[in-house]
Structure 1
Amino acid sequence: MTELNAPSELRAGRCRCGDITYEVTGVPDDPHLCSCEHCTHLCGGPAMAWVGFHREALTWTGPGGEPTWYATWPTLHRGFCPRCGTPLVSITDDSPMIMVTAFSLDDQTGLEPLGHSFREKAAPWMTITLAHEPQPR
C-alpha cells in the first residue's frame, strides 16, 4: 500500500442522514477508485472512491452506533447505514486496514485517487485522471 505524504490528523465522516458517524485518525492510505461489480451496484455509479486507514483508527461516534454489515464476498464485509443506505466502509477479514468511502468523509482534501481497481470493467465512456504517485521521502 502507498502511504500518502500527509500529516496524521483527525477526520470525521457520516452517512447521509447523520445516524451513523465516525472519526478516523492517521495518515490516509491507498486512495483509489473501484469499478468492480460490487462497488458499482452499491454506489449506483461507475466507480466507488475508497481510502484506507488502520482498523483501530476508526471510532463509531453517532447515535446509530456501528453500521449494518453485509458480506459481498466470503471474506469481505461492507458497512452501510440501515436507515438511509449510505455505504460507509469495507473490510477484509484478515486486513489491518479498513477502507472508508471517500465521500462519506466531511473533508476529502488530499484524497485524490492514485489507482483505479477493475478499470477494465468501468463504463466505456468513463475517463479518469489519477493523481501523481507520491514521491519517496
Structure 2
Amino acid sequence: MTELISVPALWQGRCLCGDHTYEAYGIPDDPHLCSCQHCTRLSGAPAMAWVGFPRSAMKWTGREGEPTYFSTWPTLHRGSCQRCRTQLTSVADNSDMIMVTIFSLARGAELIPVGHSYRDEAMPWMTITLAPEPQRRT
C-alpha cells in the first residue's frame, strides 16, 4: 500500500536574490527530473527538477513580478531572474500548467520525483530513485 503524505495548500518560492517571489496553491503536479539538452545546459547539471501548478494557481508576489522569459524551443519558454540568473519556470504554449524548478520552492526538498524525462540522455553515472507512485494529499 502506498503511504499517503500531507501536502501543503500553499507553496512559496523565489529566485536566489529574492527579486522574484511567488506563491502556488494546491497539489503539485508531476514532480520530475529532466535530462534534456536544454535543461542540462541551462542548469549546468545532469538534470533539472520540475513540478507543475495550474497557471491560475500561481501568483508572482515579488517586487519584480514575473521573471523574464526566453524561448528554448518554438513552443517552450523559460523564465529566469535577470539579476541572479536563477532558472524558475518553464511554460509551454497553450498549456494551463506552469512548471517551476523544485528547488526554487522553500519546501521543494519534500517533493520526490515520480518520473525522469529524457532518462536515456542522462549521464550513465547518474543513479536515480523515483517515487513508486504519484504523491497524494491526505
Letter in structure 2 aligned against 1:113: P
Alignment of 1:1-137 (within 5 A): 6-7=6-7, 9-108=9-108, 110-134=110-134
Residues 87-120 of structure 1, C-alpha deviations (whole Å, 9 max, x = no match)? 0000101111110100000112541000000001
5+ unaligned residues in a row in structure 1: which ranges?
A: none
Q: Percent identity?
A: 64
Distance in 2 (alpha carbons) for counterparts of 1:105 and 1:55: 16
Alignment: residue pair count: 134
**Amino acid across the alignment from 1:81:** C
C-alpha contact (below 8 Å) 2:114/2:132 kept by paired residues? yes
Change in 2 beyond 3 A, CA 1:93/1:5: farther
In the alignment, the residues of structure 2 paired with residue 13 and residue 20 of structure 1 have an alpha-carbon distance, to the nearest angstrom, of: 8
Matching residue's letter, 1:93:
D
* Contact in 2 for aligned 1:51/1:99 (Cα 8 Å): yes
Cα deviation, residue 64, structure 1: 1.3
Give the root-mean-square deviation of aligned CA atoms.
1.9
* Alpha-carbon distance in 1 for matches of 2:102, 2:48: 8
Deviation of residue 27 (structure 1)? Answer: 0.5
CA distance in 2, matches of 1:135, 1:113: 9
* Structure 1 letter corresponding to 2:115: G
SS where residue 39 of structure 2 aligns? helix
Partner SS for 1:38: helix
3-state SS of paired residue (2:38): helix
| Cα distance, 1:8 vs structure 2 | 5.5
Aligned partner of 2:76: which letter? L
